[in-house]
Structure 1
Amino acid sequence: MAVMNIREAITRTLAAEMERDESIIVLGEDVVGGAGTAGGQEAIGGIWGTTPGLFAKFGPDRVIDTPISESAIVGAAAGAALAGKRPVAELMFADFVGVSLDQLWNQMGKFRYMFGGKTRCPAVVRLIYGAGMNAAAQHSQSVYAMMTAMPGLKTVLPTTPADAKGLLTEALRGDDPVMFFEHKALYGVKGEVPDGDHRQRFGEARMVREGGDVTIVTCGRMVSFSEKACDKLNADGIGVDLIDLRTTSPLDEEAILDSVEQTGRLVVVDESPPRCSLASDIASIVAAKAFSSLKAPPQMVTGPHAPIPFARELERAWVPSPGKIENAVRQALAYR
């Protein structure tokens, strides 16, 4: 197996799938990038460096720089998908997905239902999200809960290079619209990636660690933060089941409930504000379906109900930290 980072895994997967399937097109702001600069038309290949080389290999009909208009990008992807293409639409910052909610919520997510299953919308929307880069309140949010709440859309959050490849391949070969969330602070994370054809089915969570005392359920960047908390807890003999959701729609409820039925304690870690969040949703599912197994109230570790600050120190205070996760686990264990 090759070792690469998440950025490289995404680039290579896009290239391999575009080679395999001529109906796949890529569109978004600066996905070609660098036009008119000294470096030439592909000087950057997108500000996140995830699309270099695609334009040179597949040309302007399949790799398309768009205007700065999220509604146009997603609307074009929706129409292209209905017309037989498999578009990959990149939203440079997930924060601006609100501009294209009608195209996503009322169109993409409902096409199959409204037309009685006679049509399909195989579009992938890549959304770059998350705090930790001092990008301030309008460029740092985690909006996956919003997408998860919309029927008809699949919501995916890879946290390893292997999952980036496997989940993106699954998304590109499926027939439903997929919201593919990429955390900007995780692009450099390295790991082994399976060679050849690798697909990761949606709705299958990953058990990162196993322990008998507390269940931690999380996704995205919070997986690595939770691992750091687990290291501290393990030193004190506290075992944790750490679950990386991988996808939030579909959600692997079985993995969550099976773990909580064994540990009796739940901590949900979510890089977003607490109200109407993924954390509150999972806590409510466990309270409703595994109440008799609970030995303590479910704990939630989230950001505060406030915009994300620009100042580095304030942003660090806003984001759930390994220390806060560790404290939540200890608080859950305090109930006897």
Structure 2
Amino acid sequence: MPWSRIKPDTNEPDFLANGQPESPDSRRVSYAEAINEALSQALSLDPRVFVMGQGVDDPSGMFGATRGLHLKYGSERVFDTPLAETALSGVAVGAALGGMRPVYFHNRPDFLLLAMDQLVNHAAKWHYMFGGTSCVPLVFWACVGRGWGSAAQHSQALQGLFNHVPGLKLIMPATCFDAKGLMLAAIADNNPVLIIDHRMNFKQRGIVPPEPYTVPIGKGVIRRAGKDVTVVALSHLVADSFAAAQELAAEEGIEAEVLDPRTLRPLDEELILSSVARTGRLVVTDTGWKTGGVTAEIAAMVAEKGFASLKAPIVRVCNPDLPTPSGYTLERAYYIGKDEIKAGIVKAVRGA
């Protein structure tokens, strides 16, 4: 198996939270380039891998993530698909059951709702329904929009919905390093994996090793150490939470510990619980809705397994339970960020 030769790596060489100096030989690439490199290396390593999706062979290449791959690997392994998510998701599931390793790119997670039957009723269940004799090694990737009026039907953060499904692994990267390592880990995995990304991540540039490596699925990381409160953040809110923590340390003397779970299913419960045991307080922030969402699950897990450690009520910072509005001013009022996270941290620490 070619995947056995890839070295797992959990030590990110460059994130603004770790305080490590940048080495002279560090190679900095964009978020899109990190994903593109992961896909290219997967296609090169394993002939069973192919990439499909609407616009993967366009000049823009799915926000740059798939740019040029069809020229390098041919249209049989990197190809555009029609606007038929239900049918094409079935094609991906069938290909995976037949021994291939498809990577299906969706422009928006909103349209994954058309693929729910294939993902939830088939891909996530086959391994269990057939006593472990069948595997469905496929990757679905979708990107949440923000900042250009993408509105209610093109910017939904549906991770809470998919987090409910057993048998489906769920990843939400926050850095260039993880975007590459988690993509390679997802393609190598024998289970169906959903990666929900965010357009805000594509503004990043980070240090990414050129060689193939994987970031273990289900292993989170501490982005900033602190003693007063634990902040569990997802996707691009990891950077916002770190910035909030840095400012509060300087302004208020509050030292927040920022955790990046990296994956939601499986969730690194040990990392979260051990941090809460040290700080006694918890703030959870997510790009999705509050009711029945990811923050609710993480809060419930801590209340169930780490209640004795809590010194104050858990604080959740999420987008409002409303369809996403369109337009610059409405979006600014709707989306959460650094300021809302700062307020949540202060509330958890001081009760105000």
Normalising by the residue count of structure 1, what TM-score does the alignment of the two structures yield? Answer: 0.94
* Displacement after TM superposition at 1:131 (Å): 2.9
CA distance in 2, matches of 1:304, 1:188: 24
Asked whether 1:80 is paired with 2:95, we answer yes
* Displacement after TM superposition at 1:130 (Å): 4.2
Which of 56, 71, 81 does residue 31 from structure 1 map onto?
56
For 1:299, the aligned partner's letter is V
- Match runs of 1:182-261 below 5 Å: 182-235=197-250, 236-261=252-277
Asked whether 1:18 is paired with 2:34, we answer no
* Displacement after TM superposition at 1:129 (Å): 1.4
Asked whether 1:111 is paired with 2:111, we answer no
Secondary structure of 2:203's match? coil
Contact 1:270/1:278, CA 8 A, preserved across alignment? yes
CA distance in 2, matches of 1:136, 1:254: 37
Contact 2:108/2:145, CA 8 A, preserved across alignment? no
- 1:40-60 Cα deviation digits (max 9, x unpaired): xxx3333x1221221111112
Secondary structure of 1:248's match? strand
Which of 69, 85, 109 does residue 70 from structure 1 map onto?
85
Contact 1:27/1:73, CA 8 A, preserved across alignment? no
CA distance in 2, matches of 1:9, 1:106: 32
* Displacement after TM superposition at 1:335 (Å): 4.3
Contact 1:132/1:140, CA 8 A, preserved across alignment? no
Structure 2: gaps (5+ residues): 1-25
Asked whether 1:270 is paired with 2:286, we answer yes
CA distance in 2, matches of 1:334, 1:242: 18
Secondary structure of 2:201's match? coil
Which of 165, 171, 174 does residue 189 from structure 2 map onto?
174
- 1:145-191 Cα deviation digits (max 9, x unpaired): 11111010000111111101110111111111000112112113111
CA distance in 2, matches of 1:258, 1:130: 33
> Larger RCO: Structure 1 or Structure 2 (Cα < 8 Å, ≥ 6 residues apart)?
2
| Residue of structure 1 in register with 2:27 after alignment | 2
* Displacement after TM superposition at 1:324 (Å): 1.2
- 1:291-336 Cα deviation digits (max 9, x unpaired): 1111100000011110111121111211112111111111111249
**1:281/1:130 CA distance change after superposition, 3 Å:** farther
- Match runs of 1:122-161 below 5 Å: 122-161=137-176
| Residue of structure 2 in register with 1:301 after alignment | 317
CA distance in 2, matches of 1:321, 1:23: 40
CA distance in 2, matches of 1:44, 1:224: 26
| Residue of structure 2 in register with 1:56 after alignment | 71
CA distance in 2, matches of 1:70, 1:49: 21
Contact 1:133/1:185, CA 8 A, preserved across alignment? no
Structure 1: gaps (5+ residues): 34-42
Aligned length: 326
CA distance in 2, matches of 1:158, 1:245: 9
For 1:81, the aligned partner's letter is A
Asked whether 1:327 is paired with 2:352, we answer no
RMSD: 1.3
For 1:64, the aligned partner's letter is F
Contact 2:159/2:293, CA 8 A, preserved across alignment? no
Identity level (%): 39
* Displacement after TM superposition at 1:3 (Å): 0.7
Contact 2:34/2:179, CA 8 A, preserved across alignment? yes
* Displacement after TM superposition at 1:197 (Å): 2.6
